[in-house]
Amino acid sequence: MNGRRRKVVARMIIDWLERFELQDEIVVRTIFSFSYKELSSSYAHSGEQHDFWEFVYVDKGAVEITIGPHCYAMKQGDIVFYKPNEFHSLRTNEVAAPNLFIVSFDCDSPAMRFFENLSFPLDDECRRLLAHLVETGYEVFDPPIDTPRVAQLQRKADVPFGGEQLIRLYTELLLVQMVRKYGAHRLPSGKLSSLPQENKELELVAQAVDLLRQRLAEDVTPEQVCAALSVSKTQLKATFKARTGLTLTEYLNKLRLEEAKVLIREEALSFTEIADRLGYSSIHYFSRQFKKATGMAPSEYARSVQARLSR
């Protein structure tokens, strides 16, 4: 077959084949906000509504979110969606300072109805997609997405190739995967919290935290906390971990380090005196633990801008 005839045959085959247009179920072309927020344990947002979608993922700690008449008690690993023009508010539990990843976006795909009044824990695969989305956000946006009080998204001058496209693709893939995983067996409309049970658990955790604060210099054991609060070890461990994202020992270490930072900034005690006051066995152990948690030795922290700004 000569070249001319091969071209004619190829053209006939192409004309015979029908084009197969891929169908998009969920399309996200516009985003309004993209942020990673570290909130205080006493944060409260009075509420708002807007004409676009938004999701909130709890990366650490716990929050209580109200959407219309529904109340959602959310812990680490949970995600919730606000549909357009739906009033919503958020508050922390005054025990653990949460970290939240929030994305608001425009999407008029009918499949988005799946996410109305829906809150549930993400599985490992969806969390990996979310991690890719966060990582790409750091590459694309300036200032970084964890910068407080950023009013408007701005592009970096040197965005890696395809960065903004990956933002869209990861967002769409995350949404599609959630519908595929849970769509056939639609979850109930969120985990509506039982407020009496919610308040009981928050009170238990608050009492445990108060006890730890009072005994920072001691190596308080879970058994001692259980005895003081007249609660079972199983109940305390499960509730405390669910509400704070930390074990009792981890939370005690966190409180010690927070108090150490305050004492360093006050400049009234030496590092040795601070270590002794907070129950560390030696100045060397205190320094190692402080650097492990903050990335700085106590002396470096004392000289840092961060310590000055936190006065």
Question: What are 194-204's pLDDT values in tens digits?
Answer: 445 656 777 88
Banded model confidence at residue 193, pLDDT cuts 50, 70, 90: very low
Residue partners of 114: CB distance under 8 A and separation at least 6: 178, 179, 182, 183, 186
Do 213 and 262 touch, CB atoms closer than 8 A?
Answer: no
Burial 261-288 (b: 16+ CB within 10 A, else e): bebbbeeeeebeebbbebebeebeebbe
CATH number for the region 195-309 comes to 1.10.10.60
CA–CA separation, 114 and 90 (whole Å) = 22
If you average pLDDT over residues 272-295, what whole number do you get? 91
Q: What gap in Å lies between CA 284 and CA 276, rounded to an integer?
A: 11
Would you place residue 225 in the very low, low, confident or very high pLDDT band (cuts 50, 70, 90)?
Answer: very high
User: Residue 276: pLDDT band by 50, 70, 90 thresholds?
Assistant: very high
Mean pLDDT of the chain: 84
Question: In this predicted structure, what is the pLDDT of residue 56?
Answer: 96
d(CA 274, CA 253): 14
Q: What is the DSSP string of 51-78?
A: SSEEEEEEEESEEEEEETTEEEEEETTE
For residues 298 and 259, is the Cβ–Cβ distance under 8 A? no
Give the residue range(s) of CATH 1.10.10.60 domains in the chain: 195-309
Which CATH number applies to 30-182: 2.60.120.280, 3.30.1340.30, 1.20.120.140, 3.40.50.2300?
Answer: 2.60.120.280
Mind listing the pLDDT tens digit for each residue in 6-53? 666 566 665 656 777 888 999 999 999 999 988 887 888 889 999 999
Q: How far apart are CA 31 and CA 53, in angstroms?
A: 9
Query: What integer pLDDT is reported at residue 16 of this predicted model?
Result: 58
pLDDT value at residue 147: 79
Question: Of 163-172, 240-249, 263-272, which one has max mean pLDDT?
Answer: 163-172
Lowest mean pLDDT among 28-42, 47-61, 184-198, 257-271: 184-198
Burial of 140 (0-12, 13-18, 19+ CB in 10 A): buried
Distance in angstroms (rounded) separating the CA atoms of residues 27 and 169? 9
Token representation of residue 41? 């344990």
Question: Taking each helix axis from N to C terminus, what angle separates 248-266 and 283-294, rounded to the nearest 10 degrees?
Answer: 100
The residues of the chain that CATH labels 2.60.120.280 are 30-182
**Amino acid identity for residue 162 in this structure:** G
